[in-house]
Amino acid sequence: MSENLIKNVKIRPAKPEDVVGILEMVAELAEFEKLSDQLVATEADYQNSLFGLVPVAEALVAENSKGLIGYAIFFSTFSTFIGRAGIWLEDLYVKEAFRHQGVGKRLLKSLGKIAQERDAGRYEWCVLDWNQNAIDLYEQVGGEILEEWRIVRMDRKGIENLPEK
């Protein structure tokens, strides 16, 4: 890894004008995860969710002289066992040309600092079981892969069809 390259990468909170670039990278992530058919988010959705009257998520971006090269989208959670808020990392993405150069690790650490500053009880995220590069990175930084936990998801149609009884 070129030390100069990583020094020339800046990690900062996202701004409203970053939404277009973030959404472009989200599309790249969806393609990488073979989930492009599920991507329905719009610029307006991101503007509202990240910068609206009641933001529900936040983002950090990684940029260099060529523009945005990565992002981390996160939001607050709550642990009933710990009794305090935590941070959930929804997405961590680095453009392919900049992977394996420490950018993802810098994003993880930057968000970890935010978790410390907010006195978070937990800093959590999930990883696809086939994404070995991500698993290796997460284990390298001290993340624990919880094999016994499974994600349960209900989409909008499922929510609408939730039985009354």
Question: How big is the CA angle at 50 (ends 47 and 52), to the nearest 5 degrees?
Answer: 65
3-state helix, strand, coil in the chain (%, to 5): 40, 20, 40
Q: Residue 46 catalytic?
A: no
- List, in order, residues 6 or more apart from 16 with CB less than 8 Å away: 47, 50, 51
The values of phi and psi at residue 95, to 5°, are: -55, 145
Give dist(CA 162, CA 165) in Å, integer. Answer: 9
H-assigned helices in the chain: 3-7, 19-32, 43-51, 103-117, 132-140, 156-160
Query: Which entry of 46, 93, 123, 138 is annotated as an active-site residue?
Result: 138
Other C-beta atoms lying within 10 Å of the C-beta of residue 135: 15
Active site residues: 138
